[in-house]
């Protein structure tokens, strides 16, 4: 799996974030080489298993992912639309800038970057207000099965005091819906976690226009 570098602007669009959403503490898991934490004021924690690597090895992986990502998009141009980015060059520039911001912040504020992997995060229950999860759950449903997703969702809602947002909810490559999504939402509902599928302003992967928003049990919907 590539350690990709989405920017703060991409996160704000993918998760339809308003300033109020970011008033409490935020967990970005899986953060990879994203610059969301670097660009966002406040209490942001970034978690990813790749942070167990040394900084130099991680820098190599993050920069390599930029090239591999560009190549994958060139090979599969019909699977993407460009209305949000404008041009492939603007997307590539945004990702390169994000990668460098991430690497600089990792060096300057290493305490914000914690090694950890779903479905077992090194965080206590209800320890963050908002959890953001970009391009792991559902994206990799062709590799990570329903059982893994059930455990990963349980872990994300365990650490969230207010809500969890996951983007996108379709499989990478094909952009197909994930067959077990509804069943997992029903299980969450039975545990007291309401969820909604909500359109977001971000556009790139065809079919990937919605995030899943899950409320922590007992938290009232806005």
**Contact characters 36-75, ligand SAM, x per CB under 6 A:** ------------xxx-------------------------
Taking the least distance from each CB to ligand SAM, the nearer of 122 and 192 is 122
31 binds ligand SAM (CB under 6 A): yes
Parallel, antiparallel, or unpaired: how do β-strands 113-114 and 44-47 relate?
parallel
213 binds ligand SAM (CB under 6 A): no
Taking the least distance from each CB to ligand SAM, the nearer of 194 and 207 is 207
CA dihedral 78, 81, 82, 84 (to 10 degrees): -160
The answer to whether the CB of 46 falls within 8 A of the CB of 112 is yes
| CA separation for the pair 172, 134 (Å, rounded) | 12
117 binds ligand SAM (CB under 6 A): yes
The answer to whether the CB of 2 falls within 8 A of the CB of 68 is yes
Tokens 């449903």 — which residue? 141
Taking the least distance from each CB to ligand SAM, the nearer of 130 and 136 is 136
Q: Compute the least distance from the CB of residue 6 to ligand SAM, in Å.
A: 4
Q: Compute the least distance from the CB of residue 114 to ligand SAM, in Å.
A: 11
Of 3, 10, 1, nearest to 132 by C-alpha is: 10
12 binds ligand SAM (CB under 6 A): no
Q: What are the respective helix, strand and coil percentages of the chain, to the nearest 5?
A: 40, 20, 40
Taking the least distance from each CB to ligand SAM, the nearer of 136 and 188 is 136
Q: Compute the least distance from the CB of residue 85 to ligand SAM, in Å.
A: 14
End-to-end CA distance of the chain: 35
- Which residues fall within 8 angstroms of residue 83, CB to CB, at 6 or more apart? 203
7 binds ligand SAM (CB under 6 A): no
Taking the least distance from each CB to ligand SAM, the nearer of 2 and 154 is 2
Stretch that binds ligand SAM, among 26-34, 83-91, 123-131, 178-186 (CB under 6 A): 26-34
* Position among 13, 22, 26, 30 found at the interface with ligand SAM (CB under 6 A): 30
In angstroms, the Cα distances linking 154 to 70, 166, 214 are 33, 13, 11
- Which residues fall within 8 angstroms of residue 49, CB to CB, at 6 or more apart? 30, 115, 116, 117
Residue nearest to ligand SAM (CB): 32
Q: Compute the least distance from the CB of residue 45 to ligand SAM, in Å.
A: 13
Footprint of ligand SAM (CB under 6 A): 1-6, 29-32, 34, 48-50, 117-118, 134-136
């Amino acid at each position: 799996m590539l350690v990709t570098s989405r920017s703060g602007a991409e996160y704000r669009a993918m998760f339809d974030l308003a300033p109020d959403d970011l008033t409490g503490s935020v967990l970005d898991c899986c953060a990879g080489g994203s610059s969301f934490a670097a660009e966002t004021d406040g209490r942001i924690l970034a978690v990813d298993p790749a942070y167990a690597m040394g900084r130099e090895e991680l820098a190599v992986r993050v920069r390599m992912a930029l090239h591999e990502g560009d190549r994958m998009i060139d090979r599969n141009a019909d699977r993407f639309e460009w209305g949000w980015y404008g041009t492939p060059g603007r997307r590539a520039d945004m990702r390169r800038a994000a990668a460098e911001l991430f690497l600089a912040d990792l060096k300057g504020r290493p305490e914000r970057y914690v090694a950890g992997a779903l479905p077992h995060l090194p965080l206590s229950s209800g320890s963050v207000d908002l959890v953001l999860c970009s391009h792991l759950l559902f994206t990799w449903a062709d590799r990570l099965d329903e059982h893994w997703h059930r455990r990963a969702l349980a872990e994300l809602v365990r650490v969230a005091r207010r809500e969890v947002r996951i983007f996108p909810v379709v499989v990478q490559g094909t952009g197909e819906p994930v067959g077990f999504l509804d069943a997992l939402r029903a299980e969450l509902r039975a545990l007291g976690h309401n969820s909604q599928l909500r359109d977001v302003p971000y556009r790139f992967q065809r079919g990937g226009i919605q995030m899943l928003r899950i409320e922590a049990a007992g938290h009232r919907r806005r």
